[in-house]
Structure 1
Amino acid sequence: MACNWQPLIDLVARGRRFLLTTHVRPDGDGLGSMKAFAAGLRQQGKEVALIIPSSTLPGRYDFLDPDKEFTPFALSMEQQRQADTIVVLDTGTWNQLADMADFVRQSPAQKAVIDHHLTQDDLGAIRFVDTGAEATGRLVHEALVALGAKLTPDAATAIFVALAMDTGWFRHSNTTPRTFALAAELVSAGAQPPFLYEKLFERSSLGRLKLTGLVLGRLTLAENGRVAHSCIRKTDYSATGSIPPDSEDLVNWTLGIAGVEVGLLFMEQPAGGIKISFRSRGAVDVARLAQQFGGGGHAAAAGAISQGELEAVRDRVLAALAQVM
């Protein structure tokens, strides 16, 4: 459903110091949306802080942050204190805010959520949610238009990253003619696809490649070949010289096997718990499956974090999946 942006225009008019954030383990859609929306707010004369609920910015997105504006939550006390407006982008759930959740709950600042995910909690915010959008970046583009902001080359680049990453570089089923129309507008405004593809997909660290090898080596089939799953253990990062953000997109390898309809990747988290990434070719709604484990997302791509040992969590998820296959 298309968003009515007038409440956002009013919220922006009231605010002066904005704190923008996204979900834990931020991806291209979350970070690109933050960067582009910040550009629009600054055109309105607003002060903007970009805060991520993670300890580091994933290296694959460092080109989006030449001025080192993205700040880990733990290092942002002054920005937290000053903010009179909080905008959460690309998530609307408490668990995806991780350590930032309590701050958002307790802050007296006015709040807004801009998101395209089906699963939403009550964050005490005005919601701008369109589950038909292929990326939150599209909604940020709409918001910038509503605010009368100019689409600068930097903003166009950030939105292109958001759009490209959440459509799997325009190959997932959420890619539509409107996706390409928006991409064309962004390229006309200054986004450079060859440069962005190189930055996003052709700069893997040796550690990420070694981690990929472990994931591929552990691929296992279930449900007569219709399900593929693999796992990452906490010790794998030090063993391969990788870091947790290097696991982004590795779940997609599970769907690369002929006959597989659902793919799963189970990842032990450094702080405890098991992150589960779900992917589907469409026959199974993995967002509904993820909700059983405290998560959510889209019908074809979802996530959750569950407590317990990896093997026990894996067995519970596979049992739940077997019921809907």
Structure 2
Amino acid sequence: MWPSFPSNILGLALLPLVLASPVQKRARGPWMALDTDFPDPSFVGDPNGGWYAFGTNGNGKTIQVASSPDFQKWTLLNKEALPTLGGWETNVNHWAPDVIRRNDGKYVMYYSGEAKSDPGHHCVGAAISQGTDPSGPYIPQPNPFACDLDNGGAIDPSGFLDKDGTRYVVYKVDGNSIGNGGDCNNSVAPIKPTPIMLQKVEEDGVTPVGSPVQILDRDDSDGPLVEAPNLILHQGIYFLFYSTHCYTDPKYDVRYATATSVAGPYTKTNTELFKTGQFGMTSPGGGTVSGAGDRLLLHSFCQPNVRCTYAANISIQGKTVTVL
């Protein structure tokens, strides 16, 4: 995700929001969960049935955190989830955190941090909770989890636990950050690849096992990039959710691809699960889906320069995802 906001987004027409009535059945589609700037939301459950969401830097925090007892009503917490930083990263532009719960009860946060060695480009960092509180604080590992700065850096990490107990992290190689200009810096030929990578990790969630493998990349139908990967397994089918186009573009959306093996090959469905104009949303993206495949958080512009978080219920039947 890109922190600097092009001026042309100021002229983007924001579509009316559909608000739920307290006395009527909620209309089909997502509802606003956090009416504040909380981009790239992810979430994790706690053993007591509550939920915690994490978002890109904003509201004075490096990593934002919110909580909900029921996934319906969310509260932004006045808490810094990542109060200290690793020696490899600058103190700006921390994007798209994702949190998983380990077998020992602690939590691991993956996030995108700007590399001191290459300002303007990112690495994926990992941090471990000090205790068993999902909201943190999280203590960063001394070294980045993944970088690939030669190809633009690494962003948008997301953890995944497979059915056999094997852990993985998916992330995007940020090729458009070294592109040749245009939309999200990557619509002028030659177009740079923006592959989605799959990295196996040990049970601790932070130690890589072997080398990452590519499981997806952009094509012409995706515009300048694919990003914001999120992987789940549902009844034997692997679903890779992701966004296409530039996050400031009305074409930004949430799509998904499927596979029968964790390493692919993944087949794009080209289904725009969320897109501008649908459910009253503008440039929706950054979707994160629960492991059970029944609920989702994503962001959408709720006013110029502000991306609010929305929640939705979904259903998966076979290889088809439906918004409820």
Query: Which structure: larger Rg?
Result: 1
TM tier relative to shorter chain: under 0.3
TM-score, L = length of structure 1 = 0.24
More helix by share: 1
TM-score, L = length of structure 2 = 0.24
More strand by share: 2
Higher relative contact order structure (alpha carbons within 8 Å, sequence separation ≥ 6) = 2
